Every structure is written in C-alpha cells, then in structure tokens.
Structure 1
Amino acid sequence: MKMTIEVDCTPEEARRFLGLPDVSGLNDHLVGEMTKRIDANISLLSPEEFMKNWMAFGSGAQEQFRKMMEAGMGGAKPKA
C-alpha cells in the first residue's frame, strides 16, 4: 500500500508545528555583522592592496618556502 500526504504550509508554520526555535533574529544579527566586516575590509580585495600585501613577504618567504620543499623532498626515498 502506498500513501501520499501533501501538506501546504509556510516555512514559519512548519517551524512552529515541529517546535523548532525562531532564530531569525540571530540570523539577522549575524548577517549584519558579516556585512559590517566585509565593508570594513573590502579595500583589501583591490588588486593593488592584494599585491602589496603579497609582496611584503619578499624573498625571505620565497627562500623559506624553497627550504621547506627541499626538506620535504629530502625525506622521500628514491625509486629503484
């Protein structure tokens, strides 16, 4: 036997029927906070700022990365 039940209700009505808490206030607060943080840091997404921050590491970071890769390769066993 196959039975199909169709329920026509809004998400709010379903939430109340299932006894789930209303978190819309918390969601609005979190979205507002994220919006403020994105607006405050949007200048970091400009290509000029991105390159300036990336290049600030200079050759020291490149050298450290090379040494890390060499150390990693030193632990590998050669194939016979």
Structure 2
Amino acid sequence: MKINVTFDMTPEEFRKVMGLPDVQEFQQEFFNTVLEKMRAGEEGYDPMTLYKPMFNESMNAMGQFQKMMFSMMSGNGNNGS
C-alpha cells in the first residue's frame, strides 16, 4: 500500500508547525559582521581563510568516495577500509 500526503504551505509556515526557531535575524547579523570584518581586512576574515576548511573537507569526501568506488569495482567492497 502506498499513501501520499501533500501539504501546501510556505517554508515559514512549515517552520512554525515543526516548532523550529526563526534564525533568519541571527544569520543576517552574523553575515553582516563577517562582511564588515572582510571589508576591514581583519586577519582571519579573508575569503580563502573562511572557506579553506570547507574546501579541505569536500576534497577529503571526494577522495573517500573515489576509494569506495574503486574498492567496489575491484570486488573488495566488504573489507571495511
């Protein structure tokens, strides 16, 4: 048996129904603070420093995915490494 339920609501209505906090103001304040520090040239707030951890993690994730795919293609997918 398959049952489909559709709700027609905005993201704001969904957030309220789920009881999630409204963090839009906090996000905007945080973004403005980071933007001010970037414009002022404050140390540690240049774009490359801010995004470097994300780049490193995404590259690590890609490498792990490639290892997993090569392992599966070679028939060693169940060795856990």
TM-score by length of 1: 0.49
Which structure shows the higher helix fraction? Answer: 1
Greater RCO, CA 8 A, separation 6+: 2
